[in-house]
Every structure is written in C-alpha cells, then in structure tokens.
A and B are shown apart, each in its own frame.
Chain A
C-alpha cells in the first residue's frame, strides 16, 4: 500500500500516461497507472499493457535488462493515436512513460510510404529499362560476333570489335542482375522443382569460371568432399546462378597471381533422402572491412576503396545470391579480412533424386577399360571410381602406351569394354589418334571423352573423330557410371525395347544429294534413309542448281554435293547456288563429298561457299555427325 502511495506521489500529477511495473522474481507486472494512462486505457477499451504490441510488451515484462537507449523509443498505436513509449528504471521498478506523437508519426508514415512507392517505381523503372535495353543489347552482341567472324578485318577494327564484345557482354550481365533483383523484390521468382545433376551443373559453372580465372591470372582449384548424393531435386538455373555469382565475385576481387578454392560437399542430414549441400568459395583477394561485411548482402552495396574503384558491377550480385539461397531454405555466411581474402559459405538443404547407380554397377561389374589420361591425380580418382563400379582399368599416359595396351589386349583372350579418354594428352594429336582407334576397334567399340569444356562446342569435331559419348569433368561417379552403362548390352536392349534403337534420326529433314555415280547414289539413299532422311537426288551440278532454284525456300535442309560431276562440277554448282536470288541461297548448308585430298581442295570447297568437307570413302559416323551439326541437335 505504501508503495502505491509512493507511486501516486511520484507519478500521479504527471500529465503524460505513466505505467509502473514491479519486479516479481521472474519478470515484471503492471502495478500502477496514472490518470492519464487510465484515460488512455479506457479509450483503448481494456488494459493498457494488453494494447501494447506483443513484441514490445514481452520486452517490457521480461526479466531482461531495461531496453537500452539506442533501441528507444518504442512506438505503438493506441486509441487511434500514435504514442512513443520510453521505459526506464526507477526505485527498483520499471516505469513506462508514453507520449502522443500522432502528428509526427503520420508525417513519417507519409514519408515512408512515399519512399516505398518511389522504391517500387525505381525497381519497376529499372526493370523495364533493363528489359528495353537488353533487346538492342542482344542485337549489338550478336552483330559484333558476326562482324568478328568476317575474314580479313583490319587489325584496328578487330580490336575495336573485341572491345565492343567485352563491354557489351559486361553490360548485358549488369542488366540481367538488375532484372533479377527487381523480380526478387516483387516476389516474382518462383523456384523450379526438377532433377539437378551436380555433375552437369558444376561442369557448366566451370566452363564459365575457368576462362575468367585464367584470364585474370588466378589459380583455381576445385575440391570435392563427401558427395553423398550427386542428383538433387531443385532449381538448377538458380543454383547455377548462386555458384557463378560467388565465383565471379571471387575472380573480380582477387588480384592477378591469387587463388580461388571452391569446396563442395553433399552430406546426409539424418533425415531419409534429405541432404545438405555445402559450398565454400574461398579467395585470397582484397577482402572486406568489418563495417562493409554488415552490408554485403544489401542491394546496390559496394565497398568503395581504391582497389575496387576499377571493378565494375551493380552491387546486386550478393543480394541476389542471398535472396536465392534463402528462397531455397538455405543460409549464406561470409568471413573476411581486409587484404587477406574472403570465404563465403552456402548451405542449402535438398531432397535427393532417385539413384540408378546400383543398377549400373551390376551391369558394369567385371569389365575392363582403357583409360587414356596423363594426369596422375585425375587418373587415380577415376580409377577409384571405376573400382567402385567393379571396372578394372589399364592406364596409358601417351599414344604409344595406349596402342601397346590395345595390342597386348588383342593378343590375349580378353577385350576392352571401352576407351575412356581425356581431351588433351601431351604430345598427342587426339583428332588424329581417335579415328585410328575407331578404325582399329570397329564401330561398336565405345569411345568416351572426358572434358571440362563445353561439349556443344566440341561435339562436331569429336564425333567425327569417332567419339561416341561425352562425360563432363570434374568427374562425378553417377555420370561416369551412367556414361559407361549406356554402352552395356542391358542398356542397348532397353533402348531397343523402348523403340529408340536408331542412333541417328533425322525425321522430317530433307536433303538434296548431287552425285553422278549411280551406285553411290543408291548406297547414299540406303544409308541416309536409315536415319529417316528424305533424300532427293540429282546427277550433276547444273541439275542441283535448277532443282534448288525451283523449290520454295527452306524446302531443303541441306545439300550434299559431290565435287567431280559432269556438266557442272560441285564447286561451280555451289557458287551458282550462293549467287541465286532465293531466300535461303546464302544459308543452306552445302557439304562437299570428295576424296580429293590436296590442301587446296579443302580450301577450294570452302572458298566456293561450301560449309564443310567430308572425305570419301564415306564414314557414315562422320556423315551423320556432320548432318547432325547442320540439321540441328536433337536428331539423335
């Protein structure tokens, strides 16, 4: 009672609403409110404390220390007005004093709303502007590429074009980031749920990053730790974006001679079928100040210092990355020391995709293959993966050894299941070596290529050289087993049963074959027909030109042209076709077929306007891969 008198004496006459909270052992409870507070309470329709937002109330009634000055004041809306609330300690109690700030609050709210609207308008403007600029930028990039492909460009012009290419590519990436951020801010990013093959994903990422690192004179290393699962359910496009943003950032902020380590693992979480992907990107670059570390993931934030002033960017990359990681339910953290480097760690939970490895293992166990690779570290890794699949491997580090092993095997009762080769072995011209292996071992012998490079850029030449399939590096167990399994009898049967036994399929494509030799025409019709091509034939170059001229544009998808023909030879016919005033006269692929082997023959074909040159006698694999190249992918 005495206390109440004390409270009343102290706070009763105060015009501002005051609430006194007493300590109860495990927190505070309201014990007194002055008349101003009571009036406010009545106006609010209940106990004043109950009307204070829960977050503030919990802080006030909790056993913790009185909220510090820096956090204050609290704001709350009571009885239609806005009040500031300041708690402070008094005589062993906690006193909360309220002050009406409705006018101030409303003014601030208006300013805030205006700011939000302005921000939305900015985002919308940036988004639309980015989109509008992207379209012509695409044209600039495309036309620059076309210009660069022209022959005999003066050196100065070529230099300018290369600079335009670099600058426009950079601008495009900035625009893409702005667009992404606006999508994130407007909640328009929806994650896909699909199978993500980490092998493919990593291969794609490295195809982009390695050249950047090389160009910057950086040492790039990749370490794969435990890979409990290699196929996950998630959004591969956005995951790739996270990887590339982090790595590009490291490349950007690491000076020449520095190093970047990428460490990836996928570990079990304990829950069935659930794994945690852990990605670390560590560099020994310029690092960040502790102050900037607090703002690294905010949009448009870039640390301003002399070393970064020349590095271009929107400052959106990390904000986008953080948002994407969080959208996937993961976390991103960063550690950094100025001048020493940074380390970003991303952890994202995933559900694992169904694994086919066991089935592959059963079909592959007991087989022996020839591995052609001169990198001892990589060879060891591949051999251990093969060992897990039950496959024995003989390793050759040079062409002579590879051939000796093939020879030794041919003298024994065993045989190799396949040749697994890397793209480059020191001292070996692979595009000469592989065709010889193909000839020696026959059409059914699988030759698989391991490479870090983009397969779509290499496919044409390597399939011509006899390669059947491609496995991306860095190597993943699942890709290796799937790649090899495809050539087992079991897999071949399965494909046949599924009705897709045909390796090449060009259904819907029509070609014009100009060939004067009747038997050759018959053979070509038979063999090309097997790949479902529609073939029309003519017997000389003149007929080829006339036939092409009288058909509607895009009637033919390609022309196969013999060189030596009566009436008009293939070179003249090609020149005549290219000179025609038809819509597709310039674009239709024309491929020479000839055994003319002189240096100038190949040059003459290309000079006449042909697109490629197939040597006779025809190797159908080479023919099909050439067709595939010109008739579009997906024909297989």
Chain B
C-alpha cells in the first residue's frame, strides 16, 4: 500500500513538472524590471546590429528588460504562426510589412491606436506608417524601409571611363558593355538562379520596372495579374537581354555568388536591398557608390519591404506589458540610426534629419528612395505569387524563353494562385 502511494505521488510530481512549463507566467511583479520577450528574425550581418541595439536599450533604462530570442529566418514565420495560433507568441514581434495581411484578418495582432501617442506617430514618414494601417486601424509600427538599390563599383567604372552613374536603360547598358570591354569583368551582377535563396532579385527588379512604366503587378481589386502587357514585356526583355544578347551579366548566378563577386570587384553594377550596404562597406579595398534604383523605364520606383514591430493579442493581455512594449518600440525607432548601420533606412523624420544618421556614409545617398517605394499588394496571396514568380522569371531569364510565352505562363499561374485564397 505504501509502495503504491509513493508511486502515485511520484507520478503526480512528474506530471506536474511536465505541465509546469505550460502554466501562465506571472505578470511582472512590483520589484524588478518588467520582463518582455521578443523574437527576432535578424541573422547574419543584420543580427549583430540588432542585438547591439537590444543591449543598448536594456542598458539605457532599468524599467524594462527585453530578452531577444533569435530564430532562423527560414523558420521564423512558421514558428510565429504556430505560436500565434497556440497563444504563446512573445510580447513584441517583428513582421515584414508585406506579411501583415496574412495576420491582421485573423485578429492576432493588437490594434495600436489606443496605445500610441499622436506625438510619436507624427514623427513617422507617412508612406511606411500608412502601409501598417488596415481598415483604419494601426497594426504595426515601421522600424525601417529597405528598398532595392543599385551599387556601383567605382574602380571598374573609372577603368572603363564611365564618369556618371547611369540613369536610363541605354546608359546602363552602354556602361555595362564599356566595363566588360575595358576590364574583362562583368558589367552587371543580377542573380538569376536559386541557391541559398530563390532568384528574388529578378522579381524585385521586375516589380520595379513594371511600376516605373506606370503599370502594376495586380489589378486594382487584386483579383488578377496585370503585368501581361507591354510593361511586363519591356521589363522581362530588359532582364533577359543583359544575360543573353548583351552578355554583360553572368548566367546561372545565385544570390551568394553575386554578392561575393561584387565584393571581389568582378562586376560593375550590383542590385540588392539596402541591407547589403553594411556588409559591402566592411569589404577591404572595395570602393562603391550606392544609389536609389535608377528610373530605367520611366519614373522612379523601387520594390521595397519594411520591418515592422507588432504586438500579438494574448489571452490575458497585461496592459503594463503592452505599455512597456510600446516604450520599447518607441526607443527602437527613435534610435534607428543604430539600425541604419546595417544599411536600412529609418522611418522617423527626427532620425532621418538627425546628425547621427547623416554622418553615416552611403545611407543618405539612397534615403531619398523612400519617396518612390512601391507598396506590396495587400493580398494574402502575394507571398506565394512572389515566390512563384521568382521561379518563373529564373526560368525565363536563364533559358532566354520567348518573352510573350513566359509572360502568358506567369499570368496564368498568378491567376490560379489568387483563385486559391
């Protein structure tokens, strides 16, 4: 009998230990700082700057303590979504603006209007802030804007006698050819093949070029593809021509290789998001210029995305924690010049006009790009469309497919994707 009792007690204790971790956490007590949790998707170059910011935030005050948990980028949204579904998401999360649409309709993000002061909001740039608003409610606060920009290798341009950064498609092609003839290095380094990443650069440029001509990727009601026309045709032919007819861009080039080749001075023009700046400027012996994406096909327009902070809805939302989270977001965006070290463009006027930001090289050169960024289509299907177009453009460019056939295929695929959402 006693043995049995001991066994039962042991079982109960073991069971209690198993489930102890699932017990709701106590809200911050009176003593000690308010504990907040954050999940970051920043790895690699970005991650160092971000972690340094968190440390500095924690050191700057003793009211709030933020714990940062880094998640591998590939798994981030999977983990976040399951955590949101299970109600175990952290106190503050980071989301790409393009992804907001996947979360807002399910009501898992807290509308922030009641918590954020007018004064704070008025400091933000209108375009990135409005992009976080849906049906009149503010669901996130933009931390940065990261459009695609053009990087040029100064030494190669000098060697080829190119004195001006090209502005039009013709000038670009002429400069790329001149570099190739004079130096034997590549004129442009646009990655076009899946490696560690898909050929996203092709999609980013395609979106940019279509918009530069006044077109758009989807129809206004987001119900169908809108790029199977002369805009899409010109954009695609332009991208194909660099690799094939003109031969100034390597074929079967993947993302990592493109970045490495530009670092090694093996190509004159390189296209990537502004996040590459932080890495490029640490490369010894590389002298480069960073400029907003030139208006190759008409007006200025560049693909972009934006990192935003959001607060998940919790089962027992603790107003103290929400307030602390807002303070954290306020501090992070107000000190975004630290984040600009990674290359990103801050979103608050006070930072953009501040000394610290303007003292950084390169950033101020492309900060103007913020005014001509393209908003991501607000549809849950966009994620799949974006990924799928990267595959189709990769095939069209690397195989030099007939542009009209390729566009027809892209249009049909995009329409089919939309029909599933």
**A and B: interacting chains:** no
Residues of B whose CB lies within 8 Å of any CB of A are: none
